[in-house]
Amino acid sequence: MTEKCGVVGISLDGRDAARPLYYSLYALQHRGQESAGIVTHDGFQQHSHVEMGLVGDAFSEDDIESLNGPAGIGHVRYPTSGSVDSSCAQPFSVSFKSGSLGLSHNGNLVNADEIRDELADSGHAFTSDGDTEVIAHDLARNLLEEDLVRAVKQTMTRIHGSYSLTITHDDTVMGVRDPQGNRPLCIGELDDGYILASESAAIDTLDGELVRDVKPGELVILRADGQGFDSYQLVEQKQTAHCFFEHVYFARPDSVIDGKRVYEVRRDLGRKLWEESGIDSDVVLPVPDSGRAFASGYAEAADDVEFAEGLMKNRYVGRTFIMPTQDERERAVRLKLNPIKSTIEGKTVTIIDDSIVRGTTSTQLVKLLKDVGAEEVNVRIGAPPIVAPCYMGIDMASRDELIASDKSVEEVADEINADSLAYLSKDAVAEVLEQSRDDLCMGCVTGEYPYDIEGEEADREITRTEVPADD
Ligand code: 5GP
Ligand code: MG
């Protein structure tokens, strides 16, 4: 199961954590729109509210009031394959002999089935088929015999794959990042406590200060009095596997991830794109909203080109719009984007987007722009061709749905009917992120993954129906 999600954890000095958790989930809404949930602990008892839908719809005033206690975690979950499954909504919560546990997970384990089988054999009963419950049971078992830090360490050596977790053990809030740091997680300071969040934008929303990123392999435990946090480097790892796609598409542009400002990264990628494959045209147009930062960098580097808005986005067509068929996905692009004829008619144009997944958006846009009189439509993409699925928590299409999985760039250009098409190189991505390519997870653009993925070969044969690409 793919879990592309947002997680948060907050520990305050006395004040209830539910409301700041709720606001921070709003800030992370782009990371998941299928379900939202909060688990708190008041020192005696755990409280939980998890519901399907957007953050604004999932909690009533009464729900927030009932989530007592200064310690808690929250979660937003991304929709996966067509059907909505409430048993996988999070945070996952359990009570057991040595206390209560709440868990929010962003990422994807590669050995969850194996651990699940082993735990099931020793009497653990599972209520969902998600990874998170596996982590919860493993941790609960370790907590019977070990103190908290050792128990987490044991679980971390047992589970493999990608995980950024926020956890409550009774009223203790903690955060864990996998030894390769695949998904983001950061620490922030609030007026009266501390916060752990997938992205720094959640900290900003609460008027807090970003302290730093959680390090790969680190456990951070927030102090119950809101006065600080303790750090334990539980697993040492020489090589990281930071997801480059967080920077390209997934994260908010106003977040800072692993010390990098996402908006500036995207602008730099846009500048590189011009350097590598710039083409003269009358006007440069961003594909809203995800292409904006790239287009601004590209146009700036191009110097004397007109930079205009040529496509208007309808804000009311949400990401929750689930369309299982290609026909409906095409209709959705048309509902979502409308050309501004005056900036396009009679001109040669270059449109800039962050990525091409299935090719639905770019195919539709090229046609749309030509229909309103563009003389030439060039397409420039701020990431390398996506040729393989993501097994680490971003829900991309299956391999055979990816337009570039079996085509050359020229063939893709033909297919989307662009006058020219160019993608950014993998080296440019590594250069802008100031990382070696070996320290990044670039599985979706190389087909080579930094984790051993069971059944990866077999997956090459499987076709899935999946939610439409968005934005
Ligand atoms: P395509 O139309 O080629 O299938 O998708 C490309 C568009 O989807 C781009 O505008 C990009 O911003 C967006 N996109 C890229 N990755 C994802 C993803 O993982 N999920 C969703 N919903 N949209 C994505
Ligand atoms: Mg987009």
Ligand number nearest to the C-alpha of 469: 1
Q: Are 410 and 419 in contact (CB under 8 A)?
A: no
| In the predicted structure, residue 446 carries a pLDDT above the cut 50 | yes
Q: Are 9 and 175 in contact (CB under 8 A)?
A: yes
Sort strands 229-233 and 218-222 into parallel, antiparallel or unpaired: antiparallel
Give ∠ CA 203-208-209 in degrees, rounded to 5.
95
34 lines ligand 1 (CB under 6 A): no
Ligand 1 mean position, distance from CA 96 (Å): 41
With bands split at pLDDT 50, 70 and 90, how would you rate the model's confidence at 3? low
396 lines ligand 1 (CB under 6 A): yes
Ligand number nearest to the C-alpha of 32: 1
Residue nearest (by alpha carbon) to ligand 1 atom 4 = 358
470 lines ligand 1 (CB under 6 A): yes
Residue type at position 417: N
402 lines ligand 1 (CB under 6 A): no
Ligand 1 pocket mutation, candidates 80, 249, 365, criterion most atoms within 8 A of CB: 249
Residue nearest (by alpha carbon) to ligand 1 atom 11 = 355
3 state DSSP class of 176: strand
Q: Are 74 and 112 in contact (CB under 8 A)?
A: no
Lowest mean pLDDT among 103-107, 115-119, 410-414, 465-469: 465-469
Lowest mean pLDDT among 375-379, 397-401, 436-440: 397-401
3 state DSSP class of 210: strand
pLDDT, residue 372, reads 96
Lowest mean pLDDT among 190-194, 229-233, 286-290: 286-290
| In the predicted structure, residue 294 carries a pLDDT above the cut 70 | yes
Question: Looking at residue 467, what DSSP letter applies?
Answer: P
Per the listing, tokens 């509902």 go with 335
User: How many whole angstroms separate alpha carbon 109 and alpha carbon 83?
Assistant: 21
pLDDT tens digits, 155-185 = 999 999 999 999 999 999 999 999 999 999 9
471 lines ligand 1 (CB under 6 A): yes
Cite the beta strand spans of 133-171 per DSSP E: 161-169
Q: Give the DSSP H/E element, type plus range, for residue 333.
A: helix 326-336
User: How many whole angstroms separate alpha carbon 232 and alpha carbon 338?
Assistant: 51
Ligand 1 pocket mutation, candidates 327, 331, 336, 355, criterion most atoms within 8 A of CB: 355
pLDDT, residue 318, reads 63
Per the listing, tokens 């699925």 go with 389
356 lines ligand 1 (CB under 6 A): yes
Ligand 2 mean position, distance from CA 432 (Å): 20
pLDDT, residue 47, reads 98
Q: What is the CB-side half-sphere exposure of residue 141 using CA atoms within 13 A?
A: 18
pLDDT, residue 119, reads 93
In ligand 1, which atom is closest to the CA atom of 329? 2
With bands split at pLDDT 50, 70 and 90, how would you rate the model's confidence at 68? very high
Q: What is the CB-side half-sphere exposure of residue 337 using CA atoms within 13 A?
A: 26
Q: How big, in percent rounded to 5, are the helix, strand and coil portions of the chain?
A: 35, 25, 40
43 φ, ψ (degrees, to nearest 5) = 100, -25
Ligand 1 mean position, distance from CA 357 (Å): 6
pTM: 0.93
359 lines ligand 1 (CB under 6 A): yes
User: How many whole angstroms separate alpha carbon 137 and alpha carbon 155?
Assistant: 10
Query: Euclidean distance between the first and final Cα of the chain, in Å?
Result: 23
287 lines ligand 1 (CB under 6 A): yes
Ligand 1 mean position, distance from CA 36 (Å): 22
Q: Which of 9, 8, 6, 14 is nearest to 191 (CA)?
A: 14
Average pLDDT value for residue range 126-144: 91
In ligand 1, which atom is closest to the CA atom of 359? 3
With bands split at pLDDT 50, 70 and 90, how would you rate the model's confidence at 84? low
User: How many whole angstroms separate alpha carbon 471 and alpha carbon 294?
Assistant: 14
Those residues whose C-beta lies under 8 Å from the C-beta of residue 92, and which sit 6 or more positions away, are 102, 103, 104, 105, 128, 130, 132, 133, 136
Residue nearest (by alpha carbon) to ligand 1 atom 6 = 356
Q: Are 19 and 38 in contact (CB under 8 A)?
A: no
For the chain, which domains are there?
Answer: 5-241 (3.60.20.10), 265-434 (3.40.50.2020)
- CB atoms under 10 Å from CB of 465, counted, come to 14
Sort strands 348-353 and 283-286 into parallel, antiparallel or unpaired: parallel
316 versus 350: the higher-pLDDT residue is 350
With bands split at pLDDT 50, 70 and 90, how would you rate the model's confidence at 324? low
With bands split at pLDDT 50, 70 and 90, how would you rate the model's confidence at 150? very high
- Tell me what the pLDDT averaged over the chain comes to: 91
pLDDT, residue 467, reads 40
Indicate which residue of 5, 88, 243, 444 is catalytic.
Answer: 5
Lowest mean pLDDT among 126-140, 220-234, 288-302, 420-434: 126-140
Residue type at position 406: D
User: How many whole angstroms separate alpha carbon 357 and alpha carbon 88?
Assistant: 26
- The rounded percent of the chain whose pLDDT value lies above 70 is 92
Ligand 2 mean position, distance from CA 469 (Å): 8
| In the predicted structure, residue 387 carries a pLDDT above the cut 70 | yes
Average pLDDT value for residue range 443-459: 79
pLDDT, residue 463, reads 37
In ligand 1, which atom is closest to the CA atom of 360? 2
378 lines ligand 1 (CB under 6 A): no
pLDDT, residue 456, reads 64
Average pLDDT value for residue range 430-441: 97
User: How many whole angstroms separate alpha carbon 395 and alpha carbon 204?
Assistant: 27
358 lines ligand 1 (CB under 6 A): yes
336 φ, ψ (degrees, to nearest 5) = -80, -40
pLDDT tens digits, 189-211 = 999 999 999 999 999 999 999 99
96 versus 40: the higher-pLDDT residue is 40
Which DSSP string do the residues of 4-35 spell out, in sequence order?
-EEEEEEEESSS-SHHHHHHHHHHTGGG--SE
Active site residue 444: no
pLDDT, residue 130, reads 84
With bands split at pLDDT 50, 70 and 90, how would you rate the model's confidence at 319? low
Q: Give the DSSP H/E element, type plus range, for residue 260.
A: strand 260-261
Q: Which of 446, 459, 470, 347 is nearest to 78 (CA)?
A: 470
Q: Which of 179, 89, 105 is nearest to 139 (CA)?
A: 105
pLDDT, residue 333, reads 82
Q: Which of 185, 193, 258, 182 is nearest to 220 (CA)?
A: 185
What long-range pairs does 116-119 form, CB within 8 A, spacing at least 24?
Answer: none
Omega of the bond leading into 91 within 30 degrees of 0 (cis): yes
User: How many whole angstroms separate alpha carbon 224 and alpha carbon 219?
Assistant: 16
